[in-house]
Amino acid sequence: MKLTILGSSSALPTSERYPSAHVLSVHERLYLIDCGEGTQMQLRRNKIRFGKINHIFISHIHGDHVFGLYGLLSTMNLMGRSTTLNIYAPSKYREILFSHLLDFDIILGFNIDFVALDSGDPVKILDDKHLTVTSFPLRHRIPSYGFLFREKAADRNIVKEAIEKFSIPVARIPAIKKGEDFILENGEVIRNDEITVAGPVPSSYAYCSDTMYFKRLSSFVRNVDLLYHEATFEAGLGELARITGHSTSTDAARTAFEAGAGTLIIGHFSSRHKDVQPLVREARSIFPRTIAAVDGTTYDVGNIDVP
């Protein structure tokens, strides 16, 4: 599981930071999370193939999280896309999205499967071969949702030498990789852990933007390996954060600490913060394993080096 930050700015983009957009890669499948202005340019810069994106998750209907979607859909159409695109977004966005396409005479050559988000509790919205995705409510000025991506446990790996040693038929290998023991012709049972080794440890990633701090949030992302949490403002601007429905650096750190997260990446920075390292230091006073999101950087979700 690898995460690429395409944009980590808040409402105003800067010369170094684009508005919100992330791409999560899981077993070569790509999941786009939010789609701020300039997303398709960032996809090109980072050599990410548009055609491999089949799922787009929109946290809420503020421009810095969605303005890039219209251009991206148009480009996908011009590139000849024909496969269905799945869009997960607040229920109100369905009418807005299709109205825009109609207003600008964009006739798509592919279907959009729109999944409406409207629950006040966590809901599993995607379950495929490799992962599950759960949406959960955030606390912002308008309905807003976070997303939790959990990789499913991989099958065990069979020890090659064991295949020859015990004359294991090819037809039995799939079941053994699922955990079954192997029984010899004489009835002897060869325990599964003698002929297999565990597969890679599953990874998990959670995306929380935009939101104020609230106690329940940490329960939605319990024990996540990597937590991306907005830190729009420094700790001293807590009142402004509350007025605007955002979090400070220390709010993000509190959530990470209470959730037992592995690593915290803070982002969605206000353009007033030219240097975000003070925000990182504030967060680290509560949650030491904190780093700042950097546009164009790819992170190995289960293996992040914190300096």
Residues recognised as catalytic: 64
CA pair distance 280, 234, nearest whole angstrom:
9
User: By C-alpha distance, which of 99, 38, 94 is closest to 63?
Assistant: 38
Strand segments (E) across the chain: 2-7, 21-26, 29-33, 53-57, 85-90, 112-117, 123-127, 131-137, 145-151, 157-158, 182-183, 189-190, 196-197, 204-208, 226-230, 263-267, 290-292, 298-300
Radius of gyration of the chain (CA): 22
User: By C-alpha distance, which of 13, 88, 74 is closest to 40?
Assistant: 74
- In SS3 terms, 95-106 reads as HHHHHHHHHCCC
CA pair distance 237, 260, nearest whole angstrom:
25
* Residues contacting 130, CB < 8 A, separation 6+: 26, 27, 29, 151, 152
